[in-house]
Chains A and B, each alone.
Chain A
Amino acid sequence: MKKEEEFMPKILAFLCNWCSYAGADLAGTSRLKYPPSILPIRVMCSSRVDPLFIIRAYLGGMDGVLIAGCHPGDCHYEKGNYYTRRRFAMLKKIFDELGLESDRLLLSWISASEGTKYAKVATEFTEKIKKSGKSPLKNKIFL
């Protein structure tokens, strides 16, 4: 089958229950189409996403990691996403300093009503990752 050759990235998506997961659902109920690359992990709040999860996923060979939460100010838990943003900023910086591909990580704010935005982010991020190619970590032995 043709699909075999074409590289379909695997992207782990941490979605907060109240905004982004609902947004992703809305994309579905609106029958929007986006690549099957996204593998959603539901968390109650984006602030539950321990940076170590992201590191593990990256080292594990995930082609991309998306963290999506409520827009700043709209967090169901008032301020969780502000901490998420700080932790993400730190992690990104660590990746950059060590020459790791921080562009395989994405932080995006997607509300429950932004089904279209979710589909857009999913599609564009997938395209971006396709350009960067397969994660080079899948076959590393000495991690």
Chain B
Amino acid sequence: MSETSLNSKGVVISAKPNTKEAIIGILEKAMDKEVFDAVLIPMSVPAGDSFVYVLIKDKSLLKDAVPLSPVMSVQGAHAVSSVTRLGSGNMKIAAVMRPCEIRATVELAKLGQTNLENITLISLDCPGVLPMSDFLSDPKKSMSMFDDAVQKWDDKIMRPVCQICDKSSMVAGDIHIGTLGAKKDTFFIISNSQKGNDTLDKLDITLKDSIDSWQAKVKTISEEKQKKRKKNLKDLKSDIGGIDNLLDAFSQCINCHNCMSVCPICFCRLCYFDSDKVKHSSEEYLNRAESKGSIRFLPDTTLFQTGRMLHMSLSCVSCGACEDACPMSIPVAQIFSMIADETQDLFDYVSGRNLEEPLPLVTYKEGELHEVEDAND
């Protein structure tokens, strides 16, 4: 289901000495040629126990960059937003991120939270990421495990929501690096926009090769994943469906709102559910308690969760950041993915697929959605 819109042509690049270094080589070249003034890319932190986005201007730092990090500490869209929300600035920046991060970036552009004017979005085929907690339990070991998994393109050790991600090769940015379906020691570079084409031109990279093998491989993988996704989410639905199950699902929630604050789509400066609107008088709390004999305090956990679905499910990219950040290990990402699939299908919308696609709730079609109307009208 992954469509490379602009052209179905790409170019085969030699992955010598390995894919990572080849990619970095290209980025270095691009900086030499001043195609980019800076590169936004994951980098290992000094303690070596995580990877965070670093905006690199000094080319020599690139060698420590890790295009495909084993964990998602900060959702890339947050990084792009931080750099461009207040203006495109004067630097031409390449942002190397996972497809879901780029899709979130595109959603945020629609919401005025990113400015893509000077940004070139570069995505990679994504094998998923490790659950943060697993990774932290033994970073070194985890890294080698991750590398194996990438070799075998095996997602068993990845986060649940990654295991059912059917958009892990979706090209939503300007340039995509395809490792799937490529011959040994090569990978594909695919352009997805005029900006992508121009960039590659400046780097004397001509899109001369076919990318059929990549597309074929991507197709099979995403179809498998789609099946698995449908099944898992169906099971999940039966598990948490119904108000009692839903309440139980969130019974451990401690209202820390980590899920909200790491969510790339939740961009509000002050969340509605942290605002005065959800603060009540003791009288009201007591009345509520008296009507039931007892209320959980704070109440409204479910209001927060469902309200957040309302606010962001149409743009949710199932990146899994929320689940990683939940101290109570509630399967938030899976629950939200489930809802997102439903709501986005409703408008035949895929979050972050295309910058030109308007957000479903800021547009409408004359003859749509009769199914939700009263038949008698």
Contacts and interface: CB of A to CB of B under 8 A. Distances in A.
A and B touch in the complex (CB under 8 A): yes
User: Interface of chain B, helix or strand or loop or mixed?
Assistant: mixed
Interface in B19-52: 45-46, 52
Nearest to A140: B46
Contacts of B54: 141-142
Interface in B285-300: none
A141 B54 CA distance: 8
Interface of A: 141-142
B31 to A, nearest CB: 17
6 contacts: A141-B54, A141-B61, A142-B45, A142-B46, A142-B52, A142-B54
Contacts of B46: 142
Contacts of B45: 142
Contacts of B52: 142
A141 B61 CA distance: 10
Contacts of A141: 54, 61
A107 B249 CA distance: 54
Nearest to B64: A141
A141 B45 CA distance: 9
A141 B46 CA distance: 10
A71 B126 CA distance: 63
Nearest to A141: B54
A141 to B, nearest CB: 6
B60 to A, nearest CB: 12
Contacts of A142: 45-46, 52, 54
A142 B61 CA distance: 13
Contacts of B61: 141
A46 B52 CA distance: 38
A9 to B, nearest CB: 24
A142 B52 CA distance: 9
A99 B91 CA distance: 36
A132 to B, nearest CB: 22
A58 to B, nearest CB: 19
A141 B52 CA distance: 11
Nearest to B45: A142
A37 B52 CA distance: 35
A141 B41 CA distance: 13
A142 B48 CA distance: 12
Nearest to B55: A141
B315 to A, nearest CB: 30
B5 to A, nearest CB: 36
A142 B46 CA distance: 8
A142 B74 CA distance: 14
Interface in B49-95: 52, 54, 61
A117 to B, nearest CB: 42
| A-B interface, 6 closest residue pairs, ranked by CB to CB distance from nearest | A142-B45, A142-B46, A141-B54, A142-B52, A141-B61, A142-B54
A142 to B, nearest CB: 6
A142 B49 CA distance: 13
A142 B45 CA distance: 7
A35 B206 CA distance: 58
B180 to A, nearest CB: 33
B47 to A, nearest CB: 9
A142 B54 CA distance: 8
B355 to A, nearest CB: 31
A106 B45 CA distance: 32
A65 B54 CA distance: 28
Interface string B317-347: 0000000000000000000000000000000
Nearest to B58: A141
Interface in B166-200: none
A141 B56 CA distance: 9
A2 to B, nearest CB: 28
